Structure 1
């Protein structure tokens, strides 16, 4: 008995069409990052660094696939879709150059409990698991908001991305990229954060916090990060004065 098209599709799951769940900007970044990783892997192979070379080529291939197809298996498993983002969101993006290697800047940021040291709106970040954390933010007039977050990507020395989970007071997602700055000037740190304040009275309070975290505020936060990492000075006094 001849199988129907749907039955043939079920018997060949690798050929089923996959819904695109990666947004255009992320696809471009994946293509660029994948090509760079693959090229670095080939260079390592030419230097007989076989283990690291093969690992980088494999990782580069995954990013290239992600960029070309617009599909991410990890996003699919987690129910994340950046191709069809929510309306009414607030996006902020800023970059800073820090005179340290990418790995050192990444390591500082990867310890999420360091974030309130330079991000003025954060009161605390508590690590609750290998990829999960609990965040608390403070806004004008003592307004507070809390949420749980989970990492979506964690590529040492290159990128960290996260998104809120569960009943977040302020649904959000963000990413930070670490790239070698031209002229051996250190690391270019680029941060992108999307906030989606909910509706209702609670949403208005959350929106006041979210809109308080504007591009100027993020720029000041990154300047504090630069000061901590380059000079080694704490900024408690400065934050209190602000």
Structure 2
């Protein structure tokens, strides 16, 4: 398993960053390679993405979710990553978003990309895109503020 850890500071309140992150179906707007995310219910998601030039689909389950604090998930099966995103209030108008993901690189292309850090670079790029997306809007596109505890 490979672990990726990246973070970014964003110039929006913690509730704005968290609320936008809960809009999973908006991920293709700022995550490179993510073609579609379908929210099946409060805890289940279906992902379609281009990973190293190959189309991949997987289901994920949100295992823990606490407003303005964290969202954790696990892939159902071996196709996708497991991880957690945490939200840290820096002050009234700034938030630190931290991502930790675990995944198993598949095939030669993903293994080589992992060794040279392309996977970490991609996650960092997605966080930069999220920052530009939410700071540019100044407000979230929606919110889900429920708790999930497994």
Give the TM interval when normalised to the shorter protein.
0.7 to 0.9
Structure 1 unaligned regions, length at least 5? 1-88, 198-202, 234-242
Identify the match of residue 179 of structure 1 among 88, 109, 124. Answer: 88
User: When the two structures are aligned, how many residues end up with a matched partner?
Assistant: 136
Q: Which residue of 2 aligns with 1:76?
A: none
How far 1:162 sits from its partner (Å)?
0.3
Identify the match of residue 103 of structure 2 among 195, 205, 221. Answer: 195
- Specify the SS of the correspondent of 1:214: helix
Distance 1:123 1:227 in 2: 19
Which has the greater radius of gyration?
Answer: 1
* Greater per-residue strand proportion: 2
- TM-score (structure 1 length as normaliser): 0.51
Q: 1:209 to 1:172 in 2, by over 3 A?
A: farther
Residues 199-210 of structure 1 aligned to structure 2 (within 5 Å):
203-204=106-107, 207=110
- TM-score (structure 2 length as normaliser): 0.80
Confirm whether residue 114 of structure 1 aligns to residue 26 of structure 2.
yes
Distance 1:137 1:100 in 2: 28
- Specify the SS of the correspondent of 2:126: helix
Q: 1:184 to 1:129 in 2, by over 3 A?
A: closer
Identify the match of residue 101 of structure 1 among 13, 30, 37. Answer: 13
Task: Spell out, residue by residue over 1:60-118, the C-alpha distance to the aligned partner (whole angstroms, 9 max, x if none).
Answer: xxxxxxxxxxxxxxxxxxxxxxxxxxxxx111111111111111111111111121211
Contact 2:3–2:102 (8 Å) recurs in 1: yes
Aligned Cα root-mean-square deviation (Å): 2.4
Distance 1:162 1:210 in 2: 23
Q: Which protein has greater RCO, CA pairs closer than 8 Å, 6+ apart?
A: 2
Residues 15-94 of structure 1 aligned to structure 2 (within 5 Å):
89-94=1-6
Confirm whether residue 126 of structure 1 aligns to residue 35 of structure 2.
no
Contact 1:103–1:157 (8 Å) recurs in 2: yes
Structure 2 unaligned regions, length at least 5? 139-150
Identify the match of residue 119 of structure 2 among 214, 225, 228. Answer: 214
Q: 1:180 to 1:220 in 2, by over 3 A?
A: same
